[in-house]
Amino acid sequence: MIAVKQRVAALQVQLPVNRSVLFLVLLMMGFCAATVMSLGMGGVEISVGDVFVHLAHRIGITEVGIDAFDARILDSLRLPRILRAIIIGGGLGLAGAVMQSLFRNPIADPGIIGVSASAAFGAVSMIVAGHLILGSYYAAFGPYGVPIAAFGGAVLATVVISILSRQDGRTDAAIMLLIGVAINAIAFAGVGVFTYMADDAELRNLTFWQMGALSGNGPTDMPALIVMALGIAYLIRLGTPLNLFLLGEAEARHLGVEVEHLKRRATVITALVVGAAVAVSGIIGFVGLVAPHLVRLATGPDNRYVLPASAMGGAIILTAADAVARIIVLPAELPIGLVTGIVGGPFFLGLLIVEKKRRRL
Amino acid sequence: MTLMAYKAEFKARGRYLLRDVSIAVEPGEVLAILGPNGAGKSTLLKVLAGELSPSGGTVFQNGRALSSISALDLAQERAVMPQAASMTFPFTVFDVVALGRAPYRKVSTRQFDQKQVRRAIELADITHLANRAYPALSGGEKQRVHLARALVQLWGMTDASQSGTESNGSDEQPSVARFLLLDEPTAGLDVSHQHAVLALARQEAKERGVGVLMILHDFNQVLTYADRVAILSSGEVVEQGSVSDVLTPDLLSSVFKSPIRAINDPAGGIVLVSQSA
């Protein structure tokens, strides 16, 4: 054991790599492992070896593939689904980390402060009342109207929160949470009204969607997924400016950050990512909260590492949660929002107790 | 090459917080701002730092209007030590100081940054705190962390471990002057650290040609550490000039509405004391 520690220490001296970078590499490996394992799990068990053979075949490394039935399950069911899990999980984890820095508060999360619910309200209103709003254009634009409406709801909620929770230039955590309670109440009431108005087919659509589902809506998801991927690519590079932001807005400006510019961009793009995530998969809670908190335990608060690690952590969490959702009540599947809620809620309570002992909150 | 407010005014809710303030900080000098509470001292500092834009008049830094300079360029020419900065995330002291290097992240190297940070931590006397979490520090310790952060920002790409304005020993002036703005740098500090902070600021001015502006409350600290002083009252400059000319008991008594006397210090010079009658 000691010998190993010495080796690691020696390695760290030789290479200009710090603990956080090492953690990012570990996380990347965990991410790959979770993806491969999740691909093998479900109603039809596919061995890890077969998954590798199939992936290698698809890339063109090997000539022979696997059993055609298994291959079709992987190609048309699990791969798209896991791709959604990765992008949505990564997007939510990253959005949570960015919001926590923007509000300079460790308990911000798109679900808790009502951004997700507000996006859901936007999407539901488009599903139920879309043909009234868009009229004759509904046939052509309807499917794309849902993500746009979800984005609109997310932006609205974010703007309301950032305006109302500011007092003398800083964000008050208690007020922010209370505004979140209010927005959640309003948005869920709105969703309830539409649920009441909806017909049977729409209703089944809506309920699944409030609990979150990764089954997707086919090719109409593509624009939302692309938007999320672009949003992730932008947000993940904001590490240093967001670190400066944690010092305070005035201080960030003294250190060369165009504060208003950064705030506006980061807020809009975070809302875009959350809105797109909700449009594809419904409300999936706690990922945006748990992922950044978990990675901070390992990397510390430095956003240059927290942001990419939160994205990867969120992707791992959602991929794993999806695997659980698929196998726990075979042959049916559990809505994924329930899984993240059941696992994430108590987990977060535990985290709060630890944080409370450290008096960090 | 100065930091200068020209006829600056700042209005908030119909009330003038600053009115017709013209003031200039020259490179290599320490300018103190003195005045009663609510006189507009912090507002003036924020206007000079570009944090607030004046509702009238202009601020120039190195000959350019402040409003036309990008935040990054501004950050490379002046550093600000704020009165209180809150941070709930548990960054270590070393990391908070290292944030001061952010304006130079495109041009600097990791090794050079760390060297500057270690030097600043040493000067601010927080070496023993370097690995502690910032939120757990006392108010005075936090102040010193922010001083160190302002120092590494101010030093820019000149090596702090070498004294003199330029590392190569030539006496050519840098093309732009740098400025350090301190908002009550001594608040919350014990006596020895108060003197350490003020001595550091003065040293930056004298050895590196930095223009230093600081808000102070102690007349005797102004006498000891400042070259010039401006007295602010109700948003206007009452008087400015060299320390010995301006700091007269009569003027101070009327501005601060409290009797202030000058007594001869046996060790040389004078001491200003305030005593209620």
What 8-state DSSP symbol labels residue A302?
A: -
What local confidence, expressed as pLDDT, does residue A212 receive?
Answer: 78
Indicate the length of chain A as a whole number: 361
pLDDT per residue as tens digits for the range A233-285: 999 999 999 999 888 888 899 999 988 888 888 888 988 899 889 888 888 88
Amino acid at B169: G
Q: How far is B110 from chain A (nearest CA, A)?
A: 10
Distance linking the first and last C-alpha atoms of chain B? 46
Residue of B88, B107, B131, B149 best to disrupt the A interface, most CBs of A under 10 A: B88
CB contact under 8 A, B99 and A258: no
List, for residues B246-276, the tens digit of each pLDDT value: 888 889 888 888 888 888 888 877 888 887 6
A166-188 per-position pLDDT tens digit: 766 566 667 777 888 899 899 98
pLDDT: which is higher, B72 or A135:
B72
- HSE (CB half, 13 Å, CA atoms) of B195? 4
Cβ within 8 Å, pair A256-B74:
yes
pLDDT given at position B169: 42
Question: What's the pLDDT score for residue B166?
Answer: 44
A105 touches chain B (CB under 8 A): yes
Non-local CB neighbours of B135 within 8 Å, separated by 6+ positions: A360, B87, B88, B89, B90
Query: Which of B50, B51, B88 comes nearest A106 by C-beta?
Result: B88
What is the average pLDDT across A30-58?
82
pLDDT at A3: 63
Distances (CA, A) of A345 to A112, A115, A289: 11, 18, 10
Q: Answer whether A99's CB lies under 8 Å from A109's CB.
A: yes
Distance from CA of B101 to the nearest CA of A (A): 8
Written as one string, the DSSP assignment of chain B is --EEEEEEEEEETTEEEEEEEEEEE-TT-EEEEE--TTSSHHHHHHHHHTSS--SEEEEEETTEEGGGS-HHHHHHHEEEE-S-----S--BHHHHHHGGGGGGTTT--HHHHHHHHHHHHHHTT-GGGTTSBGGGS-HHHHHHHHHHHHHHHHHTTS-TTS-SSSTT---PPPSS--EEEEESTTTT--HHHHHHHHHHHHHHHHHH--EEEEE---HHHHHHH-SEEEEEETTEEEEEEEHHHH--HHHHHHHHTS-EEEEE-TTSSEEEEE---
Locate A186 and state its tokens: 């309003």
Q: Do A300 and B82 touch (CB under 8 A)?
A: no
Q: Which phi and psi angles does B130 have, rounded to 5°?
A: -50, -35
A171 touches chain B (CB under 8 A): no
Prediction pTM value: 0.84
End-to-end Cα spacing for chain A: 36
Cβ burial of B14 (10 Å; 0-12, 13-18, 19+) is exposed
How much is the average pLDDT of B32-60?
91
ipTM > 0.85 for the complex: yes
Residues from chain B contacting residue A253 (CB–CB below 8 Å): 50-51, 71
Kindly give, in sequence order, each residue whose CB lies less than 8 Å from that of residue A112, ignoring residues fewer than 6 positions away.
A177, A180, A285, A289
Q: Among all residues of chain A, which has the CA nearest to that of B81?
A: A251
Please name the residue of chain B whose CA is at the shortest distance from the CA of residue A243.
B99
Q: Do B88 and A250 touch (CB under 8 A)?
A: no
- The whole-number average pLDDT for the span A120-136 is 79
- Given phi > 0 = left and psi -120 to 50 = alpha, else beta, which region is B271? beta
Task: Provide the shortest C-alpha distance from residue A343 to chain B (in Å).
Answer: 25
On the question of pLDDT at A6 being above 70, the answer is: no
Give, for A171, the enclosing helix (H) or strand (E): strand A170-171
Contact A350/B at CB under 8 A: no
- Check pLDDT > 80 for residue B139: yes
- Summary mean pLDDT of chain A: 82
**Contact: B75, A255; criterion CB under 8 Å:** yes
What pLDDT is stored for residue B86 in this prediction? 74
At residue A356, does pLDDT exceed 80? no
